């Protein structure tokens, strides 16, 4: 079987961990090209990571004959434009999270995927790791009873300057960080929530340094989601409360650096670590299997649109503009 040939848009910091390193353990994947706005950065990236070709620009990557799949880790404001261009050039796309700047962009991206017959996946890597799959298994088994409440936090410190602190590049804590716990809650509830309230630390103007929102699900469960880029004490935590117990997962985003899964039911409590490598390896394997074998890749299509819709609603709830609008 021929290898799937990936091209990378941008010499992004996330690219080595998200694609380059995982690809080395998957025989059917090879990275053939990379481009960056600054060619010298692309050349340095290619030399460091053993990528054979440096393309002149992003357009050259998406039009290259030796690229089957485009990986898009560009700034969030560029996800829609370059994913759409790549699909129209006949390429499948793995796009970093968050999927777009807003739900309107996300809808257009999915429509183009349908029109062109290309695959467009969102890189919500955590979903594919056995740690989160175990959380889903516990909730869906009914062992903790009916779902009552989901609470998710992704609070870290991001130094300035950084594109995530800029409105022009669709920055904000909810975009870069809060998209995760929003997706946790939606995946666990299996329903689309309504945002019922929120609070924000706005600094600088239009940017949510920290934002929390309350959620209500059609089945009666509630939720609370919080993200922060100004929190010196790292907190990446999911708590799922049921009528008969609860599940607590620590560090769903980078479980290979340490994680804890605690399950409390009427029959007792257990706590331990799920050791299964990096989330990105599991995601890339799932994406490749989807392309090759047609196996499920859940973080795409309507799922991506709906996650962006909750992000939009979060900004609406606290009086901040949605991302991707004129500054």
Taking residues 4-14, report their average pLDDT.
Answer: 97
Tell the burial category of 121 from Cβ atoms under 10 Å away from its Cβ (0-12, 13-18, 19+). Answer: buried
Closest CA to 208 of 73, 74, 322, 77: 322
Question: What pLDDT is attached to residue 188?
Answer: 98
Report the alpha-carbon angle 172-178-182, nearest 5. 145
The confidence band for 223, taking pLDDT boundaries of 50, 70 and 90, is very high
Burial of 267 (0-12, 13-18, 19+ CB in 10 A): exposed
Q: What percent of the chain has pLDDT over 70?
A: 99
Report the largest interatomic distance among the alpha carbons of the chain, rounded to a whole angstrom. 61
Instruction: Using DSSP, state whether 256 is helix, strand or coil.
Output: helix
> What mean pLDDT is predicted for residues 234-240?
98
Query: What pTM was estimated for this model as a whole?
Result: 0.97
Give pLDDT, residue 326.
82
Per-residue pLDDT reduced to its tens digit, 277-303: 999 999 999 999 999 999 999 999 999
Whether residue 1 has pLDDT greater than 70 = no
Per-residue model confidence as pLDDT tens digits over 126-161:
999 999 999 999 999 999 999 999 999 999 999 999
Which 3 state secondary structure label does DSSP give 265?
A: strand
Q: Spell out the domain ranges in the chain.
A: 4-123, 126-318
CATH number for the domain formed by residue range(s) 126-318: 3.30.360.10
pLDDT in tens, 188-201: 999 999 999 999 99
Model pLDDT, residue 2: 87
Identify the CATH class of 4-123. Answer: alpha beta
């Amino acid at each position: 079987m021929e290898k799937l040939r990936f091209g990378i848009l941008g010499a992004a910091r996330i690219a080595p961990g998200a694609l380059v390193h995982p690809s080395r353990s998957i025989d059917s994947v090879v990275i053939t090209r990379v481009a960056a706005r600054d060619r010298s950065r692309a050349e340095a990236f290619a030399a460091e990571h053993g990528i054979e070709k440096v393309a002149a620009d992003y357009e050259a990557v998406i039009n290259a004959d030796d690229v089957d799949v485009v990986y898009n880790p560009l700034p969030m404001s560029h996800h829609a434009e370059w994913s759409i261009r790549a699909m129209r050039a006949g390429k499948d796309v793995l796009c970093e999270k968050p999927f777009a700047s807003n739900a309107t962009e996300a809808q257009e991206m999915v429509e183009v995927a349908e029109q062109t017959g290309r695959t467009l996946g969102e890189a919500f890597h955590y979903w594919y790791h056995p740690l989160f799959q175990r959380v889903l298994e516990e909730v869906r088994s009914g062992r903790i009873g009916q779902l009552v409440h989901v609470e998710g936090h992704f609070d870290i410190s991001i130094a300035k300057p950084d594109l995530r602190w800029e409105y022009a590049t669709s920055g904000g804590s909810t975009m870069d960080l809060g998209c995760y716990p929003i997706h946790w809650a939606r995946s666990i509830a299996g329903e689309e929530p309504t945002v019922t309230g929120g609070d924000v630390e706005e600094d600088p103007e239009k940017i949510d340094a920290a934002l929390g929102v309350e959620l209500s699900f059609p089945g009666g469960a509630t939720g609370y989601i919080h993200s922060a880029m100004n929190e010196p004490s790292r907190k990446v935590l999911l708590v799922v409360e049921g009528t008969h117990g609860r599940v607590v997962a620590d560090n769903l985003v980078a479980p290979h650096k340490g994680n804890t899964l605690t399950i409390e039911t009427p029959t007792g409590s257990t706590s331990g670590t799920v050791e299964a490598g990096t989330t990105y390896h599991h995601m890339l394997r799932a994406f490749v299997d989807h392309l090759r074998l047609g196996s499920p890749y859940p973080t795409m299509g309507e799922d991506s649109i709906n996650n962006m819709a909750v992000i939009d609603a979060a900004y609406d709830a606290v009086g901040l503009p949605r991302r991707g609008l004129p500054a």
